[in-house]
Amino acid sequence: MGKLRLVLGDQLSPDISSLRDASKKDDVILIAEVMEEATYVPHHKKKIAFLFAAMRHFAQELKSAGYTVRYAALDDPLNQGSLRAETARALEDHPSLTQVIATKPGEWRLLQDMELWADILPVPVDLREDTRFIVPLKAFNAWAEGRKQLRMEYFYRDVRRQTGLLMDGDQPEGGQWNYDSENRKRLPKSMTTPQRFLPKPDALTQDVIALVAERFPDNFGDLDPWVFATTRAGAEEARDHFLSEILPGFGDWQDAMARGEPWMWHSLLSVYINCGLLDPLDVCRRAEAEWKAGRAPLNAVEGFIRQIIGWREYVRGIYWLKMPAYAELNTLNAHRPLPDFYWTGETDMRCMAEAIGQTRRHAYAHHIQRLMITGNFALLAGLSPAQVNEWYLLVYADAYEWVELPNTHGMALHADGGLMASKPYAASGNYISRMSDYCESCSYDVKQRTGAKACPFNFLYWDFIDRHQERFKNNPRMAMICKSLDRMQPSERAAIRAEAEKFLDGLRLKTL
């Protein structure tokens, strides 16, 4: 009377709901590397290698704990290539199994498919909720019900109250809910960034890297240098290193960017949290303990915890509340194809070259690079949301649609018309110059708005405001900037339009 328990690549947690009540004696746990998941977008090589290596290590972890694990490797000649077909094959090979149990996936497209399995497979299918999040989807929907605006800040305060994190009774520790205003420092020239925990690949991971190099030679990105842990113990070491060495500086430099500095004081933990190697609430409790012990300041710890219990939970809630229509929205009517340099990193814009270059190398960029460099450019240039969303989904090792889509479509591109953010995150070169040292070595001049040397973020910014003035002039947070545009000389406005048109028409598209 055993059951088949399917565990997906981003469900590598021993307490995942599909393994609740699992029998070591009777049940079979299925983990499968399949071409369908590896190719539904052409993922960064490092993303595939990280996930396959973590899946193989998790299979070993379960076997050591006494479970029967069936592992389908990608290069197994019998591998059927899809999760559904691998599940069917496992049932054929184990005819005594009476049920399939799985935790719901993190992407709408796969949930649609898995909801059909009960009609296709020869045994009943039990699809369970993913309980690794702090706020169940039902509770999020109840919070959202009847609200005109779904603002993260109010949601976040509720989750603080619910978890008790950084709470003094019913009041926030330190008297403020949010210390973001203290978290916007530019990196001083004299400051050096901390050493990071970047583990070398073990033998199992090296085998997977070789497999990915052979099977996905043309995918985006580099496999070398390796930067990720692929075991639970390794992810815990990365977490502990972050908490003791990096967290104290997390707040101050959260929005800063610097040349040749891919990590700054960011945690690099999303990749582990999203695939289940680390538990989000546990990471937050440990961060809170650092503050309580006096080892990390409140602005750092509050800022870090807010990203996880606030933003991470909130974007997940929005995704499941609004899909599938959400992905189709294109409020700003943006249709320009993605330029070639999103793949090559070859552009004279230093900021873009830095953000895309490290994305190619590491399958990682930190939040401000994703939002205010590549995201900001895509917004200002009117790039097609579908193409930009696909790019973000495939280039980052932490990307699954439930978290990638609201961040890209909503936060960066404003394609949802303001559901996620009350104003677009549009910025000129001035912001990038203030928060980084990129402009110092750029061939464009951040102070110029028009002319051959003008920073593209400047004319694209004003052209963006110009194109969307009608929409934004009644938005209280955009009214001032719309008025500044009105005060501009018509000749300058025309020059900006012409500059933007010339630049955008000159963008090279991907040559396949």
Residues lying near ligand DLZ in the complex (CB under 6 A) are found at 8-10, 32-34, 37-38, 43, 48, 51, 83, 105-107, 110, 400
Q: Which residue has the tokens 């197994």?
A: 76
Closer of 178 and 206 to ligand FAD (Cβ): 178
Which backbone phi and psi does 172 adopt, to 5 degrees? -70, 140
SS3 (DSSP) at 29: strand
Our finding on whether 446 is near ligand SF4 (CB under 6 A) is yes
Regarding 274 and contact with ligand FAD (CB under 6 A), the answer is yes
Residue 412 or 460: which CB sits closer to ligand FAD?
412
With CB under 5 to 8 Å by kind, the binding choice for 37 among ligand DLZ, ligand SF4, ligand FAD, none is ligand DLZ
- Alpha-carbon distance values, 94 to 3, 32, 91 (Å): 10, 16, 5
Asked if residue 402 lies in contact with residue 315, where contact means CB atoms within 8 angstroms, the answer is yes
Structural tokens at position 274: 């999203």
Nearer to ligand DLZ, 102 or 381 (CB): 102
Q: For residue 476, what is the DSSP state?
A: T
Q: Which of 32, 411 has the CB closer to ligand DLZ?
A: 32
Does 308 contact ligand FAD by CB under 6 A?
yes
Min CB(460)–ligand FAD separation in Å:
17
The candidate with the shortest Cα–Cα distance to 317, out of 111, 115, 139, 158, is 139
Q: In this complex, which beta carbon is closest to ligand DLZ, that of residue 109 or of residue 151?
A: 109
- Collapsing DSSP states into helix, strand and coil, what is residue 454? strand
Write down the H helix ranges in 182-279: 203-215, 232-241, 247-250, 270-275
| Contact positions with ligand SF4 (CB under 6 A) in 448-477 | 455-457
The partner residues of 336 in beta bridges, in order of sequence, read 383
62 binds ligand FAD (CB under 6 A): no
The interface partner of residue 108, options being ligand SF4, ligand FAD, ligand DLZ, none and the CB cut-off 5 to 8 Å by kind, is none
Pairing assessment for the beta strands 28-32 and 4-6 based on DSSP bridges = parallel
Peptide bond preceding 262 in cis form (omega within 30 of 0)? no
Q: How far is CA 78 from the centre of its chain?
A: 33
Question: Interacting stretch for ligand FAD, rule CB under 6 A, among 16-24, 207-215, 268-276, 352-360?
Answer: 268-276
Q: How far apart are CA 473 and CA 408, in angstroms?
A: 24
**Per-residue contact track with ligand FAD, 375 to 394, x per CB under 6 A?**
x----------------x--
Tell me which stretch binds ligand SF4 (CB under 6 A): 69-77, 255-263, 272-280, 349-357. Answer: 349-357
Binding partner selected for residue 404 from ligand DLZ, ligand FAD, ligand SF4, none, CB under the kind-specific 5 to 8 Å limit = ligand FAD
Q: Of the candidates 248, 249, 375, 429, which one interacts with ligand SF4 according to CB under 6 A? A: 429
Residues near 107 by Cβ (< 8 Å), separated by ≥ 6? 400, 401, 402
User: 260: phi > 0 → left, psi -120 to 50 → alpha, else beta; which?
Assistant: left
Q: Is the peptide bond before 14 cis (omega within 30 degrees of 0)?
A: no
Nearest to 269 by CA among 233, 227, 310, 235: 235
Q: Are 368 and 256 in contact (CB under 8 A)?
A: yes
Three-class SS of 22-48? CCCCCCEEEEECCHHHHHCCCCCHHHH
Selection from ligand DLZ, ligand SF4, ligand FAD, none that 318 binds (CB < 5 to 8 A by kind) is none
State the binding partner of 398 from ligand SF4, ligand DLZ, ligand FAD, none, CB within 5 to 8 A by kind.
ligand FAD
* Closest to ligand DLZ by CB, 37 or 463: 37
Instruction: Give least dist CB 201 to ligand DLZ, A.
Output: 17
For residue 349, the partner it binds in ligand FAD, ligand SF4, ligand DLZ, none, with Cβ less than 5 to 8 A by kind, is ligand SF4
442 near ligand SF4 (CB under 6 A) = yes
Establish if 201 lies at the interface with ligand FAD (CB under 6 A): no
Q: Please identify which residue in the block is written with the tokens 């993605």.
A: 338
Q: What's the rounded Cα separation, in Å, for the pair 99 and 91?
A: 9
Q: Of ligand FAD, ligand SF4, ligand DLZ, none, which one sits near residue 307, judging by CB under 5 to 8 A according to partner kind?
A: ligand FAD
Residues that bind ligand SF4 (CB under 6 A): 349-351, 429, 432-433, 438-439, 442, 444, 446, 455-457
Residues that bind ligand FAD (CB under 6 A): 266-270, 273-274, 304, 307-308, 311-312, 315, 366-367, 370-371, 375, 392, 396, 398-399, 403-404, 407-408, 411-412
